[in-house]
Structure 1
Amino acid sequence: MAIVKITKGKKSGRVLRYALDGKAKDNANGVVDRVLAFSSNNVYGQDSELLEGQFAVLRERSGKSDKVTQSHHVIQSFAKDEFDYNNSDDIAKANALGLELAKAISPDVQAVVVTQADNKAGVLHNHIILSSIMLDGRSLPTNNVGVYHVRGVNDAVMMSNGFNIHANIGKGRSGYDTPAEQGLRDRHVKTDTDIIKERLDSAIDVSSSFHSLSRN
């Protein structure tokens, strides 16, 4: 199974640096490398600044340098009993599934897939960063990155590769803020949604299956 969530990134460079350059964290068995595997579509290189430069060039050529939403960030988390971060084959497969998901969302955007496991539970997961601009200069349609659409695409990818799927948790959110929520965040005040999301993220980090996630 794989759980996905999605947020929009106002600054694509910030999301790329977080995924690629962030400090490795302890998981249940000690520190692991920050980046276990990397792949991309329609961009080259693995350096965060080089990748952001390519994102920025496309925005400039498309006349969208001032676009507020520069990227979309999908986190694809796998079950601990299906993927072992100590197994190189599992790492490669997890990354390949992330790249397949990125291309299924849209083959015509710049995409980066970073596989990690430096969380409390040592669960393999992908950070998938998608440019908000397609190669032809148009903005990536909102429907392509809607939470229900991405979940459906992810389920299809997993099923086509022989994995079981399950119902995702709750009704979910697409990651888009209401004006009131954004106003609170601009004043560095946490909203009720922020607090709930933090609690859910913490539960995901320490859960190895959907059953244990429900309990936590």
Structure 2
Amino acid sequence: MATIKLSAAKSAGAAISYAAGKDKLDEETRDWLRAHGVDETVVARLSDRAVAVGGENVDIEHVRGQMRATRELFHKNTGVQAHRVIQSFATADLNAAVPADWARANALGVELGRLIAPGHEVAVYTHIDGEGHKLHNHIIINAPNLETGAKYHQHNDFARVTKLNDQLAQEHGLSVIEEPSQYERRTIAERHIDAGYVWKDDLRSRIDAAMSDPRTSNFEALTAVLSEKGVDIRVRGQNVSYAFLGPNKARHVSRGTKLGASYEKGAIQDELARRTKQLEQAIDRDGKIKREAEQLQQSATRGIEATQGRIDGEQADRGGLERVQADAASTIRQSIKRFTDRVRGTFERTERALGSITNRVRQVGRTISGVLAKHEAEKSSQDVFRNHALGQLKETKKSLAFWTGYAD
């Protein structure tokens, strides 16, 4: 049969650290595996509490950061950050002494997480330690949905999750508890409601918040930030311990080794050293950037000065060219004026000449008219002069035609 337990986690990082159990597999479990015939080469490869890992919608190697990024994206990083489901298997169904069953149990955990919260990030860690060495999964479900950002809530969800777990067990040929009494179900649910406050989770959450604080750059700063959060940290040889007062004013004390690898002295020091190195590198980069900026500013200044010089020179050249162009234009205008004056004088002289010719033509005309009248009156007595007058008239007409055409 497969049974489940539900709980909420205010610190997803702490829940993941506990479930992964990096380098936390105890020697008693190793001895138990050897005693039950597990090959020594398999045992030698084990170091973590989680003997098998898997997930849905996550890269299991970067699950902590990925889940945090999703919560920050939807602004759901406060309150309950994740939900835990512990899925346990009967030895008759899946045996912790059979390594092949480890992967099978993990796959069942991934499938259950998918059914419980579709569209959520799910990480599954399979353990074989604990009382009775029963195979069990720690299923971590990130609170916000990947598409909508809506949080999954397991309040009053025990019955639905139990039904999904039973259906999954039936589909894979595992045993199922036949109609457990309502009293038994209610007792399990009430037990988890009573255990709603877990002081170690509270402590982990406070430490995580302190480590995430931008002011935490060294151990002294961490001590000060933790003090603000009501946590007293003390170094004791190779270990570190934390103490704080819970909501009920009870004093709780825990060594870092009891909270998880991320809370031990070595892990804290390594993380702070990494931050110090990053800060020093950032300072070096900042100094380099400033030097490069100064060099760029100097180069830009020189470029501006050179450019201004070229502009001044071009402006001077342009001024000289403009003066040459103005002089040339003045010369051309003067030449045009002189040419115009000459043409105008020629036309005026021609006009005067034409006026004189016209007067002469008119005078000749009057003379001819007089001659004709005189000849007409004396026709009978002056036949002698007729031909002479006609010849003179002919010549005069030719002259008149010439000067008239010239005038036109």
TM-score, normalization: structure 2? 0.41
Shift of residue 36 of structure 1? 1.2
Deviations 1:168-211 (Å, cap 9, x if unpaired)? 744122744699999x9623659xxxxxxxxxxxxxxxxxxxxx
Asked whether 1:40 is paired with 2:43, we answer no
Aligned pairs for 1:73-92 within 5 A: 73-92=84-103
Q: Distance in 2 between matches of 1:189 and 1:150?
A: 34
Query: Which has a greater percent of strand?
Result: 1
Shift of residue 120 of structure 1? 2.7
Gaps of 5+ in 2: 35-42, 200-244, 252-408
Shift of residue 137 of structure 1? 3.8
Question: Is contact 2:93–2:175 with CA below 8 Å preserved after alignment?
Answer: no
Gaps of 5+ in 1: 191-216
Kindly provide the amino acid, as one letter, of the partner of residue 189 in structure 2: R
Higher mean C-alpha displacement, 69-78 vs 135-144: 135-144
Residue of structure 1 in register with 2:16 after alignment: 16
Kindly provide the amino acid, as one letter, of the partner of residue 186 in structure 1: P
TM-score, normalization: structure 1? 0.75
Q: Distance in 1 between matches of 2:76 and 2:172?
A: 37
Residue of structure 2 in register with 1:125 after alignment: 136
Aligned pairs for 1:119-158 within 5 A: 119-142=130-153, 146-158=157-169
Question: Is contact 1:106–1:144 with CA below 8 Å preserved after alignment?
Answer: no
Kindly provide the amino acid, as one letter, of the partner of residue 56 in structure 2: N
Given candidates 171, 181, 187, the residue that maps to 2:248 is: 187
Larger Rg: 2
Q: Distance in 1 between matches of 2:143 and 2:2?
A: 24
Q: Distance in 2 between matches of 1:180 and 1:19?
A: 18
Deviations 1:144-164 (Å, cap 9, x if unpaired)? 872111111101111111222
Given candidates 105, 108, 111, the residue that maps to 1:97 is: 108
Change (3 A) 1:79 1:186: same
Asked whether 1:53 is paired with 2:65, we answer yes
Residue of structure 2 in register with 1:160 after alignment: 171
Deviations 1:85-112 (Å, cap 9, x if unpaired)? 2222211211111111011112200000
Q: Distance in 2 between matches of 1:96 and 1:181?
A: 28
Identical residues among aligned pairs (%) = 29
SS of corresponding position for 2:121: strand
Shift of residue 57 of structure 1? 0.6
Instruction: Give the count of matched residue pairs.
Output: 185
CA RMSD across the alignment: 2.9
Asked whether 1:5 is paired with 2:5, we answer yes
Q: Distance in 2 between matches of 1:44 and 1:61?
A: 17
Change (3 A) 1:180 1:129: closer
Question: Is contact 1:85–1:122 with CA below 8 Å preserved after alignment?
Answer: yes
Shift of residue 133 of structure 1? 0.6
Query: Which has a greater percent of helix?
Result: 2
Structure with higher RCO (Cα < 8 A, 6+ apart): 1
